[in-house]
Amino acid sequence: MVATPIGNLEDITLRAIRVLREVTLIASEDTRHTAKLLSHLGIKARLFSYYKDREVKQADYLVQELLAGKDIALVSDAGTPAVSDPGAILVKKCHDFRIPVVPVPGVSALTAVVSVAGLPATQFTFLGFFPSRSGQRRKLLTSLASNQYPFVFYESPRRLVRCLYDCQEILGERHVFLGRELTKMYEELVRGTISSVICQLEEKEKMRGECVVIIGPAEKNKSPDFEDLEALLVWYRDHGEMSLRDAVKRISADLDLPRSKVYAKALLVWNTD
């Protein structure tokens, strides 16, 4: 499992270069992208297309090659394979056949942003790519509302502003740190409240490059007011796909509120036309 640069080609490790030179086959998320990297490094190698939509079938083929004694390197377009990129299925199959899997560590967009964000805690929740649909995204955000740790996710530039609006509506005003075009010429690091970051992004004519977003944690021991509780119950009623009883149980646990209080309010909300 070979990590490759997320932008700046100088970030590739000496070990990664050696491994890519020595293996029999390089499985790649996009062979065209990897061919450019190999050309830059002066490496000639056999490339095999290994992308998400055919990952299961391609993994079966690679396992057979490994069982036949071949050495294979897996790379994604950028960063570390199997971290929000193809690779996990192949790794699992290798474990099933007791084929050794060796990490060749290197660049990761996740660790790159976390290292410069100045997080107040050593723990955080990594969510990979956020759901593309607003309803699914809002449901996930609701489940994270009382999380006491920062959470980190990847987002595309075209959905970023809409996603931040959802964050603001569900979570309230929080601190956010955003990294875009990491290690590249137009690298951008933005820090501020959700609303201030939205303002900065809306002033841009066009954004490119996937983004890494860190949303600050909920304030400790902050109890929601009555209107916040009602809004949350309405959301669970309309979008949460939970029964009244299950919603009450979840909300009372997440917000540390007496179940009786939540249940009484939920009865009113659920019976409202």
Q: Where are the domains of the chain?
A: 9-96, 109-132+148-215, 226-270
Determine the pLDDT at residue 240: 60
Query: Would you state the CATH architecture of domain 9-96?
Result: 3-Layer(aba) Sandwich (3.40)
Determine the pLDDT at residue 232: 78
At 273, the pLDDT band (50, 70, 90 cuts) reads low
Say which CATH class 109-132+148-215 falls into.
alpha beta
Determine the pLDDT at residue 246: 83
Smallest CA-to-CA distance from 16 within 35, 37, 30, 47 is with: 37
At 227, the pLDDT band (50, 70, 90 cuts) reads low
Determine the pLDDT at residue 193: 93
**Distance from C-alpha of 159 to C-alpha of 225, rounded to nearest angstrom:** 30
Determine the pLDDT at residue 147: 82
Using an 8 Å Cβ cutoff, are 157 and 208 in contact? Answer: yes
Tokens of 250: 């979840």
Smallest CA-to-CA distance from 81 within 61, 53, 101, 96 is with: 101
At 220, the pLDDT band (50, 70, 90 cuts) reads low
Using an 8 Å Cβ cutoff, are 5 and 59 in contact? Answer: no
Percent of the chain with pLDDT over 90: 64
Which of 87-96, 140-149, 171-180, 209-218 shows the lowest per-residue confidence on average (mean pLDDT)?
140-149
User: For residue 172, is it left (φ>0), alpha (ψ between -120 and 50) or beta?
Assistant: left
Q: What is the mean pLDDT of the chain?
A: 89
Using an 8 Å Cβ cutoff, are 198 and 161 in contact? Answer: yes
Determine the pLDDT at residue 98: 97
**Distance from C-alpha of 190 to C-alpha of 157, rounded to nearest angstrom:** 14
Contacts of 263 (CB under 8 A, 6+ apart): 248
